Structure 1
Amino acid sequence: MMRNRADRRRRARGGVALGLGMIAGLLGLVGAPGPARALSDAVVHDIYTGLAISGFDPVSYFTDGAPQIGQARFEVEHAGVFWRFVNEGNLAAFLAAPAIYMPAYGGYSALSVAAGVPAAGIPEIFAIRNDRLFLFASEAQRTEWLQDPEIYVFDADRNWPELERGLAH
């Protein structure tokens, strides 16, 4: 009789654990990549959602001339962060050539990178020059950068490899 009760308790505990494991799996709590494991600081992203450039569609800067907020159903992980798009076409364009659409310097401010400092850019403050998307930490930075973009791009391109190595991947 003791053996049966002990067996029933073991089975009951196993069933509860199995049930909780199934619920956690269905909710995406088990086996889902966590932010500390999946995200790269080489691309500016929201630390809570993992979204690059605040969820704006990087292709929309080029197609619409302004950032458009992407949709969760058109989301992809690339370069250690999550990108959203307004439609399937923009998602396909990005997947075909991500280097074209990703912001320069991982979304860090182009002027800050030129100065040797990786400060996050603000997605709504941007410029497109020579088919490259540049973000800035303020409107004042963007204004300064636009006065001599060639020299700032030269300096930022030179500084970025070292700065990027210092960021977690």
Structure 2
Amino acid sequence: MNIQRLRTTSVLLFFAALMSLSSQAMAKAPIYTSFFSDLAVSGYDAVAYFNESKAVEGSEKFELEYKGAQWRFKNEANLNAFKASPEKYAPQYGGYCAWAVANNDTAKGDPLQWTIHQGKLYLNYNADIQAKWESDKVNLIEKANKNWPDVL
């Protein structure tokens, strides 16, 4: 009986220790990357959204680190444009889904579900969420701006 009680106590202490981890330790990164990658925008070229009005995959040949994530670009010109002004090209809310941030949450941003509004790039989780975003983006941007970066 004492061994069983000791095991139960040990298990409870283990879970209590897990639960007591600070929120700082559990915070999300400022730039969304998938669990198994450190690529921002899933490896898509953030500058191409502005220059080509489409999602374009970046190349390993044109890569740089910014805010703890790796950013890829189609060519050297786009890499240099980003280097000169990353805040101009990086997606808002670190590439997390803009609709989720507006709703005080986070979700992955899909590089194929994007919008440029007033010179800023926004990503959304999927096509259904993007439709919701598009229907009320001015209001949602205002909400998301209030929630960011506290949602992390």
Q: Please, what TM-score do these two structures have when normalized by structure 1?
A: 0.71
CA apart distance, 1:144: 1.1
| Secondary structure of residue in 1 paired with 2:128 | helix
Equivalent residues in 2 for 1:90-169, closer than 5 Å: 90-164=78-152
Unaligned runs of 5+ in 2: 1-27
CA apart distance, 1:161: 2.3
- Structure of larger gyration radius: 1
1:56 corresponds to which of 44, 60, 66? 44
Is residue 63 of structure 2 the alignment partner of residue 75 of structure 1? yes
AA of the residue aligned to 2:38: G
CA apart distance, 1:121: 1.0
CA apart distance, 1:145: 1.2
AA of the residue aligned to 2:126: S
- Structure 1: 4+ residue segments shifted above 6 A: none
Structure 2 Cα separation of the partners of residues 111 and 46 of structure 1? 18
Structure 2 Cα separation of the partners of residues 151 and 137 of structure 1? 18
Structure 2 Cα separation of the partners of residues 47 and 144 of structure 1? 26
CA apart distance, 1:114: 0.3
| Secondary structure of residue in 1 paired with 2:149 | helix
Percent pairwise identity? 36
Unaligned runs of 5+ in 1: 1-39, 165-169
CA apart distance, 1:153: 0.2
CA apart distance, 1:83: 0.2
CA apart distance, 1:47: 3.1
Cα offsets for 1:88-136 (capped at 9, x unmatched): 0000000010001101000111110000001111111111100010000
| Secondary structure of residue in 2 paired with 1:106 | helix
In the superposition, relative to structure 1, how do residues 51 and 111 fare at CA in structure 2: closer, same or farther (>3 Å)? Answer: same
| Secondary structure of residue in 1 paired with 2:151 | helix
Aligned pair count reads: 125
| Secondary structure of residue in 2 paired with 1:161 | coil
Once superposed, what is the RMSD of the aligned Cα atoms? 1.1
Structure 1 Cα separation of the partners of residues 109 and 42 of structure 2? 10
Counterpart of 1:36 in structure 2 is none
Cα offsets for 1:4-32 (capped at 9, x unmatched): xxxxxxxxxxxxxxxxxxxxxxxxxxxxx
AA of the residue aligned to 1:153: I
Q: Please, what TM-score do these two structures have when normalized by structure 2?
A: 0.79
